[in-house]
Amino acid sequence: MNYAEFYRRSIEDREAFWAEQARLIDWKQAPRTICDNSKPPFTRWFAGGTTNLCHNAVDRHLKDRPDQPALIYVSTETGIERTYSFAQLHGEVLRAAAALKSLGVKKGDCVLIYMPMIAEAAFAMLACARIGAIHSVVFGGFASVSLASRIEDAKPKLIVSADAGSRGGKVTAYKPLLDEAIRLSKHKPQSVLLVDRGLAPMELGGGRDHDWTALTEQHAGMQVDCEWLDATDISYTIYTSGTTGQPKGVQRDVGGYAVALAASMKHIFLGEPGETYFSTSDIGWVVGHSYIVYGPLLAGMATIMYEGLPIRPDAGVWWSLVEKYKVTAMFSAPTAVRVLKKQDPAFLKKYDLSSLKALFLAGEPLDEPTARWISEGLGVPIIDNYWQTESGWPILTIANGVEKKPSRFGSPGVPMYGYDVKLVHESTGEELTGVNEKGVVVIEGPTPPGFMQTVWGDDERYVRTYWETVPGRMVYSTFDWGIRDKDGYYFILGRTDDVINVAGHRLGTREIEESISSHPNVAEVAVVGVADALKGQVAMAFVVARDSSTLPDAASRLKLEGDIMKLVDGQLGAVARPSRVHFVNLLPKTRSGKLLRRAIQAVAEGRDPGDLTTIEDPAALQQIRDLIVSK
């Protein structure tokens, strides 16, 4: 089929197009309305329909493929490697669902999942989906303060966690971080369910804490039916960073999400039932939700869940899994490829990769040398795809399942069906239609199925944050700069806000600033993202000390820098740790006291900061320039 026509129908004949896509999943009751956009920007998809994500991901496949692999769990951290067939996965999910119910979890309750990459995390997510509980998975790399703010906002009845995570052989105990987070949070969960992996000592607190293995074994063999949910009911929330320090709970529905993922597996990810999908992401991120857990299973594919580094025991480990499990589609991030690029390229040729149809990369800009290196090394198409936690599935890429189109290095591609993507002028809101004109990437409503419904518990914030930033128009802002070439391919040029992207992890600089500010010797701080050859960006902090007499020499500055890094590690997690903390006498501000972040970032990257007519004291920027040059 012709993609241009496919796309046109998705926008101009929206109802018929999505009614067709809706047939890719099972419904208990068929939807009454396909798209209800009577209260923009709140689009409701498939209202009147009832369905269940767990049914579609698991139960639905029991008839045709009960013994085919569903979840392939591989940990190079613990040496555990285990395949669960659809029937076995069904059994595990049933026990987990029964265990959740025994702890009083009901439809509409929130369950927060703070877990490493273990199979139980997927069981817990699917169990929630089964009984209509709303899961909120928090990335296991976050520490107590990040976790506390999410617990406080999500208000979970139950938290599912584990004794520890492991990365590169280094064990991080989760239970003490979780206990501290619960102590810090105003909201307290009724119960905590803990998987004991035997990696770190763990004491179960009387009354509140329960052991996963004991409780699920108690419920082995129990039947727990799928709860038939309204298509517009909430499936989950996932927190993501924005301009303010307070992360937002991105809220998603049930029916729209199921249809969007099923459609994307077919049209974008080339997935066929019985094949194997391998996404190297983490369940704590949106890619893990959509393309480790739900997407592949909805498509009847086996999904590989991998715990470990891409280079341990050696840089061939992922390719060995591709060979062993005949992976047909793989999904990773440019950072991971850049890590592999530093290793012996012979690893790319060591295994039989003939099963692999494509490698999909997303999460951060894919630079051309990296794309070229991996494409030549693997000999398979590299498909860049651009999207966000908010969208749930690709906004820009190429839909090779519809029509084969060439990728263009440096560009994620063209707007996907359902997304009416535009470029607008930042300050006038005017639509930019010219070739290579730079503007803000926006989406005209109604947003497609799978897109966020709202910000959890705060409709007003959803509207204000995303839909009221472009003057004179109600459009969804992605907060990304972009340009479009003469053939309609988009190029993404970085964020317009204070979000940074470190190794594909989306972080808010304000959250990092708040953490650093809690150090007693910090008077003021600015955190900016600085370009980095390996991680894409790193966080760099500029601090004005409260008492500069404590920093007479390099050794004392180094000591405070180390203390601040440890503080961020302990509060937010190592992912948010700044790569450097520089000390300055004052921060560059406008005469009205606004921090000149873009200027700081430009100077820290060795670029020209541009117009500085509003700066209060140019010496502040000079000081940063001197610091950067002297490093």
Nearest in space to 312 (alpha carbons), one of 324, 321, 325, 304: 321
Instruction: Find where tokens 């996932």 sit.
Output: 238
Distance (Å, whole) CA 539 – CA 42: 34
286 is an interface residue for ligand PRX by CB under 6 A: yes
Please, what is the minimum distance in Å from the beta carbon of residue 457 to ligand PRX? 19
146 is an interface residue for ligand PRX by CB under 6 A: no
Distance (Å, whole) CA 43 – CA 419: 13
Nearer of residues 384 and 514 to ligand PRX, judged by Cβ: 384
495 is an interface residue for ligand PRX by CB under 6 A: yes
* Rg value, the chain, Cα: 24
478 is an interface residue for ligand PRX by CB under 6 A: yes
Contacting residue, 31, 284, 365, 449, with ligand PRX by CB under 6 A: 365
Please, what is the minimum distance in Å from the beta carbon of residue 512 to ligand PRX? 16
Give the interface size with ligand PRX as a residue count (CB under 6 A). Answer: 22
Please, what is the minimum distance in Å from the beta carbon of residue 458 to ligand PRX? 18
Please, what is the minimum distance in Å from the beta carbon of residue 394 to ligand PRX? 8
Please, what is the minimum distance in Å from the beta carbon of residue 246 to ligand PRX? 16
Please, what is the minimum distance in Å from the beta carbon of residue 332 to ligand PRX? 11
Which residues in the 506-565 window bind ligand PRX by CB under 6 A?
A: 506
Return the sign of the alpha-carbon dihedral for residues 550, 554, 558, 564.
positive
412 is an interface residue for ligand PRX by CB under 6 A: yes
362 is an interface residue for ligand PRX by CB under 6 A: yes
Instruction: Find where tokens 């860049």 sit.
Output: 384
389 is an interface residue for ligand PRX by CB under 6 A: yes
Listing from the earlier edge strand, what are the strands of the sheet with 209-211?
A: 209-211, 191-195, 158-162, 110-115, 134-139, 234-240, 248-253, 454-455
Q: Are 211 and 161 in contact (CB under 8 A)?
A: no
Distance (Å, whole) CA 465 – CA 417: 24
Q: Are 76 and 313 in contact (CB under 8 A)?
A: yes
Q: Which one of the spans 58-66, 337-345, 378-386, 443-451 is the region binding ligand PRX (CB under 6 A)? A: 378-386
Q: Please report, for residues 93, 155, 291, 355, the alpha-carbon distance to residue 104 in angstroms, rounded to integers and kept in the order given.
A: 17, 15, 30, 45
Contacting residue, 492, 538, 539, 620, with ligand PRX by CB under 6 A: 492
Nearer of residues 226 and 492 to ligand PRX, judged by Cβ: 492
363 is an interface residue for ligand PRX by CB under 6 A: yes
Close Cβ partners of 21 (under 8 Å, ≥ 6 residues apart): 259, 260, 262, 263, 449
Q: Which one of the spans 49-57, 231-239, 281-289, 609-617 is the region binding ligand PRX (CB under 6 A)? A: 281-289
DSSP letter at 132? T
Instruction: Find where tokens 């520490």 sit.
Output: 143
480 is an interface residue for ligand PRX by CB under 6 A: yes
Contacting residue, 136, 185, 388, 537, with ligand PRX by CB under 6 A: 388
Give the binding site for ligand PRX (CB under 6 A).
Answer: 240, 285-287, 362-366, 384-389, 412, 478, 480, 492, 495, 501, 506
